[in-house]
Structure 1
């Protein structure tokens, strides 16, 4: 199906212009009203909202752990197969299309949007948590032993390696293919055209897009709210800045203000700029930790981390007969639900900046390169943290007391602590900015009917709303209100896992047809 054959599928069809906004009916108004209603409920009844949504999240994780694991494994297998099959030669946008962004800028944007902020905290906190049995150990490995250290690094890589990026990759590839090769709007509903046909223009498509908007903005607002608490904790730890509600709100305001500047400038003038800044600071911090920690430890860690990942990926991917259920549900299944709930946001943003890439190039950059980069990052930061914990050096010797402080506690044992910790705080804040601005562009596109050139005021509206939600919930309900929002976002991972499976069927079907058409065209 091509947009030229059906003009009603054109971006912006059935849009309404009100107060400088160009929004799609009924996705924009229903999404906005649902967000307002939920925020009001979480503010008025924070305890009840937190209890109910946490129960919903727990129920989905406990009863559908098998589904989350199967879905994750299918996505990894599908991405790897598409890389090696002839289908990988298909170019997003047609065979004459060329990339809009340089390779470095492209990778910087997709990595920053995907999980850059998470690695800042969990690359240190997660392996130490497993090693010291903070909340169970992976595969019941003995805590505080060499075996436990290997399992800790293998499990951490498992959570941040191929599986989450495969989830993002499938969504991003589907959206990019249907937008650039089929001429459909850059909106989640377009990926279901092979299966739903013209019904994607009706309520089936509306519900898909509305769910994507809610999952995206709830996930972003949650991260911004909790991130403000974590950044304030770091400022307090390093510079004795009071970790008060006022400090946290000020951080949210500052991050939102810079994000507004970024979305106003657009991808080239804003998002790309901050993503490149991210990568430069991250590279400098990585080199510092490698050179001042222990270069030999890092080099050995590269091999050990890679081997631990390869050794543990199969048993960790299994869901049958697990005897580490508490750890398995609390960490792995939670992560999988979280990655799936974030996939519309990250996948759509990756699609938006990936025109002109081949399927093979796209999946290699989205799946394999980030996994290799994460191995390097984990070997440096996680390796140093585990070495300090095992040697009884510093505060990490006692395990994890506060996730937000783990990175700073590790850096405290290295030279130039104030400088590197300041760099870490700046990096955290810039990662928040890139998540906020890229998320705003995604929500803007969905609620504008797939348009990528909606009015700037509309981008500003969504970026502002993210900051307002985070600040209001933090002020009015604290961690319980934010926890309710996070639980709600994670709970959407269950229905979305089924949605993504259906998306895979449509993607493979359409890629095969595209390949047949190319073969026939070349034979003529």
Structure 2
């Protein structure tokens, strides 16, 4: 018979046993009301005291970034090492959902959804603006390199990839794999607290777990509302850039964008994952691929292929220097970009990680980590090289607004680059459509995640409940933007980033818990002769 490994993950907890059914909702009786109260208090307080709230949260954000810069970088490095190790360890053969589990989605649809939820909109916003900013010393330069030089151009691309490559996806992979494993292999609810069962045991169903889930919901909804608000400003700026005589791009257009995105997201939520997020994600990837191919072959093709090589080489050779938090001479750039990004990715990890977990049943651990960590990094190298490299080429050759004026508005950088290529009006319009659809998929998938957490881990809560969260995200962004403007949105963003500090420790504990759980599962499978 061999050695018998006891299943230490048995629990008498039943999904939904702490829920209250009212008004057509199926709500966790602690997480839902406490989250709602805290969100309402934050919004009201920010609207009444926008400057004070902004200063308070900005101080918390800046303090976390300045005091824990070393912790953010070392933790992110650890997440990358941990994920790469999982690919080669024996536990990589474990299948999410059990040995007989089958994937629910095709490889292409699965990848499209995780990529769209993870950072699709960010790649539209920053692909041109970030390398151009580093190259021209808009807000410091990476490692103190001399701006407007060939060395500065190469490091600008490498540093951009550093922020959008292995490290952020490793953060997402830790959360996603933890939740997928404990939900589909151990039968625990699809909620953040489940990942801590090996550490806390049945205490995860009490206040420790409630606090973890409440923080996760706050980070998710604040992050999504912030992105929706700033994304509305980018879309409005793009429309104004494209139609300067008819659209001003002011507050009314921004609110209209939020209303439109929220309405489409609501319809998508009602259609479910297959008819909503999956469909829109596939559409997004198709349109994004067409835009990328257009810029690649209509722009400076030979130069772009050179950028792909140079970006990869710069990313690989400078990764260790960029990952070192000690003795930095580029503190302004380091804190304003790298540490901020790491805190932002960590604050987004509950949302993106849980959504990736939701759609990843049937994949092995090795497939999961490879798809979530390696594949997006390779595609991002190509994306950043095509768009960022084109932007730097235009600056170097004195072409267009980026060369003449530099970065005046980062939300316009993509459109300013496209303006110097053929069919600029068409490609700029496609860019705006991509921005909007990426926001719809983020709002839709975010609503599914928040709904799952606030319903105690259910994945089949009432549709009206999902609609409630989709509308709530849009309402928060719209109200703060309409009454408080940029100041209120910046306060919301600072609040989301501040959550990154405590959640860093949550992710570190999650690594230990996942490692323990995977080894336990491997022992069971060996004992049963299935591995």
Using the size of structure 1 for normalisation, the TM-score is 0.99
Listed as ranges, the matches of 1:107-122 within 5 Å are 107-122=111-126
- Cα deviation, residue 271, structure 1: 0.6
Unaligned runs of 5+ residues in structure 2 are 1-5
CA distance in 2, matches of 1:320, 1:108: 37
1:50 corresponds in structure 2 to: 54
Report 1:222-233 matches (<5 A).
222-233=226-237
**Residues of 1 paired with 2:15 and 2:488: CA distance?**
36
Q: Matched residue pairs, number?
A: 523
1:361-376 matches, within 5 Å, as: 361-376=367-382
Residues 3 and 184 in structure 1, CA contact (< 8 A), matched pair in contact too: no
Asked if residue 87 in structure 1 is aligned to residue 91 in structure 2, the reply is: yes
The offset of 1:14, in angstroms, is: 1.3
Once the two structures are TM-superposed, the CA of residue 4 in structure 1 deviates from its matched residue by 9.3
Which residue, 82, 91, 115 being the options, matches 1:78? 82
Which residue pairs with 1:497 in the alignment?
A: 504
Aligned residue in 1 for 2:44: 40
1:52 positional shift:
0.5
d(CA) in 2 for partners of 1:426, 1:243: 16
* CA spacing shift, 1:195–1:412, aligned 2, 3 Å: same
TM norm structure 2 = 0.97
SS in 1 for 2:20: strand
| 2:390 is the counterpart of 1:388 | no
Partner-residue secondary structure (3-state), 2:528: helix
Match in the other structure for 1:478:
485
Q: 1:209, 1:301 → 2: CA distance?
A: 43
Q: State how far apart, in whole Å, the 1-side matches of 2:195 and 2:44 are.
A: 33
**CA distances 1:232-259 after superposition (whole Å, capped 9, x unpaired):** 0111111121112111100000000000
Distance of aligned partners of 1:523 and 1:470 in 2 relative to their CA distance in 1, 3 Å threshold: closer
Matches within 5 A, 1:455-466: 455-466=462-473
Which residue in 2 is equivalent to 1:204?
Answer: 208
Question: What do residues 22-66 of structure 1 show as CA deviations (whole Å, max 9, x unaligned)?
Answer: 001100011011101100000000000000000000000000001
Is 1:192 matched up with 2:167?
no
Q: In the alignment, does 2:410 pair up with 1:412?
A: no
Unaligned stretches of 5+ in structure 1? none
- The answer to whether structure 1 residue 290 and structure 2 residue 296 are counterparts is yes
User: Does structure 1 retain, via aligned residues, the 8 Å contact 2:178–2:195?
Assistant: yes
Shift of 1:3: 11
Runs of 4+ in structure 1 deviating by more than 2 angstroms, as ranges, are 1-7
Give SS of 2:529's match.
Answer: helix
CA distance in 2, matches of 1:121, 1:204: 37
Q: Structure 1 476/523 Cα, relative in aligned 2: closer, same or farther at 3 Å?
A: closer
Distance 1:264 1:272 in 2: 13
Report matched runs for 1:250-289 at 5 Å.
Answer: 250-289=256-295
How far off its partner does 1:5 sit? 4.0
Give runs of aligned pairs for residues 152-231 of structure 1, distance below 5 A. Answer: 152-231=156-235
Kindly provide the CA deviation profile for residues 85-116 of structure 1, in whole angstroms up to 9, marking residues without a partner as x: 11100000001101000000000000000000
Match of 1:345 among 343, 346, 351: 351
Structure 1 residue 2, shift from structure 2 partner: 7.3
Instruction: Determine the structure 2 residue equivalent to 1:515.
Output: 522
Q: Partner residue of 2:3? A: none
Quick one: distance in 2 between partners of 1:42 and 1:136?
A: 31
Quickly say closer, same or farther: Cα 1:3–1:34, change in 2 above 3 A.
farther
Does the Cα contact within 8 Å between 1:132 and 1:144 map onto a contact in 2? Answer: yes
- How far apart are residue 523 of structure 1 and its match? 7.6
Q: Please report how far the alpha carbon of residue 358 of structure 1 lies from its aligned counterpart in structure 2 after TM superposition.
A: 0.2
1:7 to 4, 12, 19: 12
Matches within 5 A, 1:293-312: 293-312=299-318
The separation in 2 between residues aligned to 1:5 and 1:188, in whole angstroms, is 18
Distance 1:178 1:141 in 2: 45
Cα distance in 2 for residues equivalent to 1:347 and 1:210: 16
* SS, match of residue 522 in structure 1: coil
**1:3·1:182 contact (CA, 8 Å) conserved in 2?**
no
Q: In the alignment, which residue of structure 2 is the partner of 1:358?
A: 364
In 2: Cα distance, 1:246 partner to 1:399 partner:
28
What SS class does the counterpart of residue 16 from structure 1 fall into? Answer: strand
Aligned counterparts of 2:307 and 2:206: Cα–Cα separation in 1? 53
Q: Secondary structure of 1:477's match?
A: helix
1:174-221, CA deviations, whole angstroms, 9 ceiling, x for partnerless residues?
000000000000000000000011110100000000000000000000
